[in-house]
Chains A and B, each alone.
Chain A
Amino acid sequence: MIQLPAGFHLRRDTLARSVVVRRSWPVFLDLCVAGLLLACFYAVVQIARYWNSTPRTDFAISLSPHALPMYAFFSIVRIGFAYLLSLAFALIYGYIAAYTPRLEGLMLACLDILQSIPVLSFLPGVMLAMVALVPGHQLGIEMGAIILIFTGQAWNIAYSFYASLKAIPRELTEAARIYNFSPIQRFFHLELPFATIGLIWNSMVSVAGGWFFLMACEMFILGSRDFRLPGLGSYLQTAAANGDFRAITYGLLTMIAIIVATDQLLWRPLIAWSDKFKFEQTESSNRVSSPLLHLLQHSTAISHLRQRTLRPVSEFFYRTSYKRRAIQHQQPASDSTVQKVLRYVAAGLFIGIVLFAATHAIVLLREVQPRQIGMIFLGAGATFLRVFAALLIGSAWTIPAGVAIGLHPRLARIAQPLAQIAASVPATAVFPVLLVAIVKAGGGLGIGSIALMLLGTQWYILFNVIAGAIAIPSDLREVGRLFRFSTVEKWKVIILPSIFPYLITGLVTASGGAWNASIVAEYFRLKNQTLSTFGLGAQISAATDAGQFPVLLWATIVMALIVVTINRLLWRPIYRIAETRYKLSA
């Protein structure tokens, strides 16, 4: 008798069962998808009704838990729109920067500076403009908030897309050229896929940053006007001001739930999906898996939908773009002079507008008294010391903790998810609560502001240190054990040099974040009293409050200059040393 290989029956059996599963699942999956679509429809209706309502600057924020889901929903929609806006901007900006050699340098410098400008300084201008633009609707204030969040999100995504475009391997670009890909085909077949992974990771960072500012700008005062948007941020601020601990707990729990849900329902499926865009020769073993992605990919309804909508549209595009090119081939470039003139006119107009705005801004700047300017620089010094203190305290606890987590896998399994949840709660959401506690304990905003900076930025250092510690090769550690290094020696020779590049990356991000946070941290309204401490951030916030635009402009420029200067003169050289001397890979 022929011996069947072991497990043969078993395999046939499981095969049969999997066929059954494949048959019965799609119906269920389709039901899920239908449910999702219905929910989306309801959400759109709700948003439309709310945005069309007349503006109510003095929205009473209800502290009832029943109001929370709606508030949370509004906050999410705000973030969502701001993110989509950022993404669209980033793709266009990155594309132009990468393919227009004449503008490339200028556009990159712009990104660098825009990244350093404190976002919250834009708040009054943007708000007033938007309210004026869309009078009579809640939409105006809402758009202001969205644009504000956008200004905090767009730059790093744009930079990531630009860098990806520049890093496309030459042979792939040549393949696209030799086969005459149209710009559309090149974008969807080559450029966008190649940039996808970078875009997703940067989007995660950006959205987290978006929450930070959303919490701050859902409730603010501009001159005599008190703007309130129904949302999670205003809920938490009101709850803290009223000292309602039950509401605070509900609010924070909702916040955490939203963040965990975004992670599970959005980022994880995206990361799992983006695995196919990895530019690698072999398949990696540890892949992120996502049930939701599985659902979407295996739903017959969705694949039918794609067959009916996306396919024909893309086919149409490819056909027309080919035809257009064929026509172009027959009648080569004709009207270059008209185009050239148009381009010069456009450039001239643009430069004119910039010059006009710049001169007016300079006139505005001259209104400020020399004494006030002196105060601004003194304030900058105070904030600098605060940022420095926050970084120092942050490093003091995160370096040992991070190294411990990184070197002990068992500890990492417990600590890392906890740290991730803690880090994902935007510091501005916790800040009102924390501040009430500090004030009760007799402290002032001087300590409070450092605490907020710490709250927002220490995670960057921690996660980078953990990554660095994990990356220490085990043979290096074994050398340390072999030669019986003392603890001091071990840190000096092995650990600190190994984590150095990672630590610097963390500190650079943390430093930028701390400067930006100072605007929220140094000046705060609680109930009806205003807490503030001396510093550049407080000056920006106070100027915003009082509507003193010249001072606001001065302070903003000073802060941007400081951040750019510190980046150029301090971080960049250190970073270069880290990259050349302490990089572990050959």
Chain B
Amino acid sequence: MQPAIIRAERVEKYYSQPSENRIQVISPTDLSIVQGEIIALLGPSGSGKSTLLRMLTGLSTPSAGQVYWHEAPIQSANVNVSIVFQSFALFPWLTVLENIEAPLKARGVDAATRRKRSLKILDTVGLDGFQAAYPKELSGGMRQRVGFARALVVEPEVLFMDEPFSALDVLTAENLRSELLELWHKRTIPTKSIFIVTHNIEEAVLLADRIIVLGRNPGHIRTDFRVNLAHPRDRKAAAFTQLVDYIYKVLTQPEAPAPALPNINGRRVRDQREMKYQMLPHARPGGIAGLLEFLLDHGGKSDIYRLADDLAFEIDDLLPIVEAASILKFLTVTEGDAAITALGTEYANAEILRQKEIFREAAVKNVLLLRQIVRALQSKSDHTVPEDFFHDTLDEVFSEEETVRQLETAINWGRYAEIFDFDSTRRRFTLPESALAEPESTFADAPEVEEEEKDKQETGL
């Protein structure tokens, strides 16, 4: 086996909380980057793709474990890598040429050599004649070419790319991808390995020699396999679509149970899967209804890959909606197929008030956070509870950013289903007037005392 250029050994990332808990973002992971391969890293949002990339480049220090650069710890090594960023990350006040020269300046290259190398790389990426332009005068595709040129001018051993094509339109992205492949296969660039983070499955299958799929909560490697299709790859070929379908299945399959995590320094490591607060997918009720109606029109059952294709959705946009519908038991997911349930059918066919009623029942029954909000509101004499109350409990389970998003989604769902009102200036939940008038009938389906005990165990309150 070849020696690894970059090798990650049991790297993990977690955030410590003020209490004994900590939030695990990435569980201990091993990963090597060897010479001569393009690696694609796939995963749903929140699986820590970018975090992993930053640890591999040395930008971010792992909470535990170690990253090695040619078998030396990466912090003290003289690392030769580049990153192409999603947002290009060009300096808008520097011209194209100055942008490309900047990394060479940092390496103490003299002015004449700097200029020569920069102009040569400009020529390579097809930006001849644009050296005096400012980035904002260029189109998105051109700007990303500058991003490539700046990354390549230092002749990195490993070229990292963080969703480099996702800010571009489809055609421009396609064009840049094929040019990148050409540079790579013709060995125009001395780069030994390319590591690309993406959420576009086809892009991964199109480019990569090796694909790694991450799962989330916390981020971990689900599968890591080689792609043995010959270049140029044909999107219509059976082998290609089979591979794409396989990855869709991996991404949508229920998680396999992971081995138990060890005790570290006497602190119990809390894995997010142990918490019974589900991670609410950030989908809007309108999107869920739309998806169900679409499914009904297609016979109630469809391949998620086909669904994404028909709707012209990126997988990152579609998966949260599918997941939300499945949490509410409006549909079931098996083997990459989504099938609508009886409840889902009723929901999709109902008129608007009835729809809200069904949503309300399903949400209160299946979403712990909403159930807790309702119970707290009913038990308070003034029927109002500050947002902070739930913020603090969620904070123990999710990162600060995720807590805010979780509450945002819960508020969105709760307002839609008229489970509660939310006063956004005072940041308080209140019971809606209709519920105040006749709480019995409105929340007839809200789980009562017998589930109280279970909830307490679940949340560890």
Contact = CB atoms under 8 A, between A and B. Distances in A.
B381 interface: no
A190 B83 CA distance: 17
B57 A282 contact: no
Given A174-B54, A174-B59, A179 B103 contact: yes
B87 A171 contact: yes
Contact of B92 (A279, A321, A580): A279
A94 B336 CA distance: 53
A419 to B, nearest CB: 33
Interface stretch (A180-188, A455-463, A514-522): A180-188
Contacts of A189: 91, 94, 102
Q: Is the interface of A mostly helix, strand, loop or mixed?
A: helix
Contacts of B81: 178
B108 A323 contact: yes
A319 to B, nearest CB: 5
Nearest to B140: A281
Interface string A321-358: 11100100100100000000000000000000000000
A174 B85 contact: yes
Interface in B64-113: 76, 78, 81-83, 85-87, 89, 91-94, 102-103, 105-108, 110-111
A446 interface: no
Interface in A256-304: 276-283
Nearest to A321: B108
Contact of B82 (A179, A196, A323, A332): A179
A322 B91 contact: no
Contacts of B102: 179, 181, 185, 189
Given A282-B136, A329-B78, A181 B106 contact: yes
A318 B114 CA distance: 13
A189 B104 CA distance: 13
A94 B106 CA distance: 24
A193 interface: yes
Nearest to A314: B105
A193 B98 CA distance: 14
A322 B425 contact: no
A172 interface: yes
B424 interface: yes
Contacts, number: 78
Interface residues of A, number: 37
Interface string B442-457: 0000000000000000
B92 A277 contact: yes
B424 A580 contact: yes
Contacts of A319: 108, 110
A178 B94 contact: no
A318 B105 contact: yes
A504 B85 CA distance: 40
A577 interface: yes
Given A174-B83, A179-B82, A283 B89 contact: no
Prevailing SS type, chain B contact patch: loop
B346 interface: no
Interface residues of B, number: 31
Interface string A163-183: 000000101101101111110
Contacts of B106: 179-182, 185, 318, 322
B91 A193 contact: yes
Contacts of A477: none
Nearest to A192: B93
Given A181-B106, A189-B102, A322-B108, A580 B425 contact: yes
Nearest to B82: A178
A321 to B, nearest CB: 8
A178 B83 CA distance: 7
B149 to A, nearest CB: 13
Contacts of A190: 91
A576 to B, nearest CB: 9
A581 interface: yes
A283 B92 contact: no
B14 interface: no
Contacts of A174: 54, 59, 83, 85, 89
A178 B57 contact: yes
A315 interface: yes
B128 interface: no
A249 to B, nearest CB: 45
Interface in B30-44: none
A273 to B, nearest CB: 10
A281 B137 CA distance: 9
Contacts of A276: 92-93, 134
B154 interface: yes
A185 B105 contact: yes
Interface string B49-70: 0000010010100000000000
Contacts of B92: 276-280
A276 B82 CA distance: 26
B382 to A, nearest CB: 22
B156 to A, nearest CB: 9
Contacts of B108: 318-319, 321-323, 326
B110 A178 contact: no
Contact of A172 (B78, B89, B103, B134): B89
Interface in A92-133: none
B137 to A, nearest CB: 6
Contacts of B78: 329
A278 B91 CA distance: 10
A193 B102 CA distance: 14
Contacts of B85: 171, 174-175
Nearest to B424: A580
Contacts of A580: 424-425
Nearest to B81: A178
A206 to B, nearest CB: 23
A581 B59 contact: no
Contacts of B105: 185, 318
Given A172-B91, A178-B82, A190-B91, A332 B76 contact: yes
Contacts of A177: 59
Contact of A171 (B86, B111, B134): B86
A193 B154 contact: no
Interface string B405-422: 000000000000000000
Contacts of B137: 283
B87 A179 contact: no
A25 B170 CA distance: 48
A179 B154 contact: yes
Contacts of A172: 89, 91
Contacts of B110: 315, 319
Nearest to A175: B89
Nearest to B427: A580
A282 B140 CA distance: 10
Nearest to B76: A332
Contacts of A311: 111
A16 B304 CA distance: 63
A277 B93 contact: yes
Nearest to B167: A281
A481 to B, nearest CB: 29
B65 to A, nearest CB: 21
B93 A175 contact: no
Nearest to A196: B93
A581 B425 contact: yes
Contacts of A581: 425
A178 B136 contact: no
A171 B89 contact: yes
Given A171-B87, A179-B154, A329-B76, 10 more contacts: A171-B86, A171-B89, A172-B89, A178-B83, A189-B94, A283-B137, A318-B105, A326-B108, A329-B78, A577-B425
22 contacts: A171-B86, A172-B89, A172-B91, A174-B59, A175-B89, A177-B59, A178-B83, A179-B82, A179-B103, A179-B150, A180-B103, A181-B106, A185-B102, A189-B91, A190-B91, A193-B93, A276-B92, A277-B93, A283-B137, A311-B111, A319-B108, A580-B425
Interface of A: 169, 171-172, 174-175, 177-182, 185, 189-190, 193, 196, 276-283, 311, 315, 318-319, 321-323, 326, 329, 332, 577, 580-581
